[in-house]
Structure 1
Amino acid sequence: MNPPIDAPAPTGRAEAQLRVLERAIALLSSTATLDDALGSTLDACLPVLGDFGHFDVVVGDEVHRVARAADDEPAATALRQQRWRRRPPEATELSALCSGWPVLHPEMDAAWYQAMATGDDEELDAWRRLGAVSMLSVPLRHAGELVGALSLFMGSSGRRHGADELEFAGLLAALAAPPVVSARLREAQHRAEAAWRASEERLRLALEAGRLGLWEWNVADDRFSGCERFYQLHGLVPGAFGGRLADFQALVHPEDREAMARQMQRALDTGTGFAAEFRVLHPGNETRWLATYAKVHPTTPDGRPLRLAGASYDATERLQLLAAERTARADAEAARGDAEAANRAKDEFLAMLGHELRNPLAPIVTALHLMELRGESSTLPERELIARQVAHLSRLVDDLLDVSRITQGKVALKLERLDIAAVVRKAVEQVWPALEKRSLHFEASLPCDPLQVQGDAVRLAQVLSNLLGNAAKFTPAGGQVTLAVTADEAEVQVAVRDSGVGIAPELLPRVFDLFVQGPQRLDRIEGGLGLGLAIARTLVQMHQGRIAADSPGPGMGSVFTVTLPRAAPADAAPPRPAEPGPRPAAARLLVVDDNEDAAEMLTQLLMLAGHEVRSAPDGPSALALVQTYLPDVAVLDIGLPGMDGYMLARQLKAQPQLAGMRLVALTGYGREPDRERAHAAGFDEHLVKPVDPQRLLQVLAALVEARRQTPL
């Protein structure tokens, strides 16, 4: 690095500075454009205060740079290519435009370049090409505003800047500030006028196409004006407007005035546009919504806005539609939430109800099977009747758990060739107690020869028992109920007729709809849920049949007719009953159920099948029992007190001595989510109460076999 040259004598320095000032004044007085003003200032400084330099001035949202060199044009080119950037406060200040204060860097070397580049290789290369050894930068202020900075560099001359040069450069910047700012304002005004003309044309087109009302507020003299449509939008006629900002604000709805005033003031303060929606009051207190967009136009040299111009249109209908849409969406969301909550509550209730209804059926089914295994023939007719009723009740419980599944035709039918007379007898058997209770005269007319249909015996019996039950319910004591079966070559018809209350003509077309019922007494002794006929219609349609209702009117009885297609002639003999399978190998079993009757009946059934069985009423008892008794298979109820079946299954699986043990869930919870939860808890099988004993024994035999084939 070259050593600094000796400073000139005070007298010589003063003369040099005087010549610089004279030159600067002469150059600046002749400038017209911003670039001329900036370049003239630099030309006056060089080479006395530097070998090269640049002037940065804030123009709008950008920094405009002009660079000059005394006899080093490559350096000036390098300066023009450098991009001005704002540095963080903690970084070394490079320009007075960053800090607002004079900056002096008397010594600049390779280490200084490295620090100033802050890891930017491109900027580091630029500094190296520039070759500056000293620098000063002074702010350019006007009316208290920081508008730019003058930066001067020493390079090939080897000179260094000192405090005197920094002070004199500040004086030059102050001298240059007025003409520089004036030139900047002139350029800004030219650009603004061009933009205004283009904007004016766009607004004119928008006015014609969009039925817009243009307005303008001249801030300097507080004059507010608008086009004809502007007055129409505000409910005025030309000449009825005072023309001041206060007059405009008086047109705004009182509840919107303060917000509108804040937005306008914010636009003036920031020089940016704004969009607003506000209400105005028309004659007769009619309220209309207006939408407006406004923009601040050219400012005065001291930065004050000159005009605020905008366009407005009537947004009443759009906002009303949006409000209606929001309300509808909120209502829909609320309704959806309510429906989902109600659906969850319904599912939980039906699951619990199904569990509570199935639990009492399980020991009944097991007890019937035990009686059959023990050969108790004296009660065979009663057992068969109980078995039929239990099977029917089990199916009805399934229906209750998913009524929508039935009404939407999602029930899986167990189709077989049926004699319609046998189906009728099952239905009559189910309804007979109600017929007897009301002392009704019942007659059935059945054909002598079998009439075959293809159908589900339980579902068809459910349909006919529903029709007979309705006839019994709505027929006064001592009345008449008849059932007649007729047929032709293609179809079988079953007609249930009664002498009861009949059906009103207006109700007849909707009698098979969900929840539709006739007028009920206050005690609802004849009432129901209005589901039976809807379910009956769906089940009949699933059998490719149809159902119809007819009635002469109230008090004149009614008739319901079910029509089913006849089954095709049978080509093969009916299948023979399956031979009983081999007796399963004896195993060690554990039964856990808090229902004493269910646990006792199941234990007896399994012991009679040759198994060793232990039982427990709850989870803790079962965990204590398996410390000494190691079962091959555990049959667990889910709805146990305290520790439920899922938790018990996990704890049993965690017992080292029970490795390989199989688990069966025997429960009243029969929904698909219940099955998934059971398998997730470690159960191998999920059976729903009441389970067919043969089915249970088959499942246990398979699990025992799998258990014995699995190495421990």
Structure 2
Amino acid sequence: MTSESKRPPPVVFEPPPGDGYAHQLREMNDALLLSAVRQHELAEESARASRQLNESNNRFEAIFETAPFGLYVVDQEFRLRQVSLRALPVFAGIAGLIGRDFAEVLFLLWPPENARDIASRFRHTLSTGEPYVSPVFSAVRQDSKVQEHYDWQIHRLALPDGQFGVVCYFMDVGARVMAEESSRRSAERLRFVLDSMPQKIMTAMADGVIDYFNPQWTEYTGLSFEETEGRGWKQFVHPEDLAGTELLWNQCVQSGDAYAQEHRFRQADGQYCWHLSRMRAFRDTDGKILMWIGSNTDIHEQRQSADELRRYADELSEADRHKNQFLAMVAHELRNPLAPIRNAVQVLQMTSSGDESVQLAAAILDRQVTQMVRLVEDLLDINRFSLGKVALRSKLIELASVVHHAVEAVEPVRRANDQVLVVNLPQAPIFLYADPIRLTQVFENLLTNACKFTPQRGRIALTAAASDGAVTISIQDNGIGLSAEQIDRVFTLFEQVDASSSRTTGGLGIGLSLVKNLVTLHGGTVNAQSAGLGHGSKFNVLLPNVVEVPPQAPPIDRGGLESTTTARRILVVDDNRDSAQSLAVLFDWFGNETRLAFDGIEAVEAAANFRPDIILLDIGLPKISGYEVCRRIRSTKRGEDIVIIALTGMGEASDRQRALDAGFDDHIVKPVAYADLDLILAQLMNQK
């Protein structure tokens, strides 16, 4: 049954038939009907409002109990009207909480000054409607004596009974406050450390804006922090360094890479000093940059020292360059006079076979010239090693041939000292890949040293033994020996075994250093042994790359070619007349026909008129150089048929290459023994 069926029927007045009062009755009846309808509508509106109020109260209750923070309500009489479940722990232990005077509750919870302040805030909001948002509230509870921390705010609201009340929202922020306090203390400790450091320290925000300079910065620049924070640091960077500093810093801020740069900063007196600046990003656990922290180290003295070192290095490099030029010039100037001396010695040896005194003098001169040549070459080799310009020309060689050449080279010295040299090589030939000229130089140096430091009629032994793809060559003497200290430094450059003022042996102290460099270049090792002073010495050279030569092996270099006795037409060109004339005498003695020229133009003309088979051509000539002479002769009709050899005092590898590029068939360094020169000419003539 509906509500309409329950209502009593409306009162309707029926006028008596024919009554004139009928019109008024109808109007009254209509009015009553309208009144009934209006009452019905009002009843429905009241019911709807009641439902809405209930729904609102239900929503409030739901929010009140499910809110993620504590809630409580104080009514118009300043009594606690309602407390949410989340808020109850704050009021724990207080009996009869609901309906209790709120001020009384506050004084039970907090110290009097805090309780009065909170009560005052509530009353103000209750009377004025102004909300209040509190800063973090921290106080020690009266009951537990524990400090607690809250965020809270209050608002006025209308209660269901139509009166106003105050609702309080609060949240325990103790953990956050503790974390913030810990962070603050850490920041204070960090600031204390940074302020106390002797280095200049700065920090920047994640976007690269500087937010801290320690006191050392302000002391150095004479500027306050306010003047330098943000981008103010630009004013103390050297103008020439500013653009590069900004560019790199901005790049690092964008990429997160560590920053490191050297630049100049202006100090308070206006002077600029070099600094090394470093900045690193400080990140959170997710890798996000939180801040930058960096240091600035004064490196002005180090930078000045480095500049001075670079300047010294440049000066040393320049001095070394001049030294190299000087050595090359000295070698050239020494070789030029040595060449005619050697030629003259060879002429004496050939023409004075019946005169013992002349033969003795010639032998002495030959030994001394050989010694001077070796000293010049050793000195230049040391220079080449320092420049890294020594390269091996290795090929398959027989060890015996190298030893034979070395023994031949020291024979005059050995004979002069009346010493015994015993060579003991295995019967089976030993083959290895090596540079025969450089290896001969190694053994010649070691044998020469043995002869120098072994007394007359002393004994020297050279032995060799192959094992496991290597060969060990030992040179032992019964000479003056070596102390333990000397053994440690005997291979040091310019170190001399006998450095006393009364020493009787010569030398520059470079031979053994060369030996070590050359052996190392071959991949081998060398060491010295001695039982002490007066007990002789032994030097052991170990060389790898020993090979077994198969029956069909390629030809082995055994030290040279057969000389030819065919008469040749030879043009000798040298502005040193002694050198040219003495060499011509040698060639004439052996049946050759020679002509001389003393400058470049004469050489070109003589080549055209004399039609030589061989031209021995100096490089440093008057009028035109030997290079140009060679080019001009090569350009003639028969120029390609002539053997043209550069015979010069310039002995660097670059000199040889330049000669070959100019068209020379070979490059020979003065002075050269006639026998060696004759073999080279025979080889080149056979090739033509």
Q: What's the TM-score bracket when you normalise by the shorter of the two chains?
A: 0.3 to 0.5
TM-score scaled by length of structure 2? 0.45
When Rg is computed on C-alpha atoms for both structures, the one with the higher figure is 2
TM-score, normalization: structure 1? 0.43
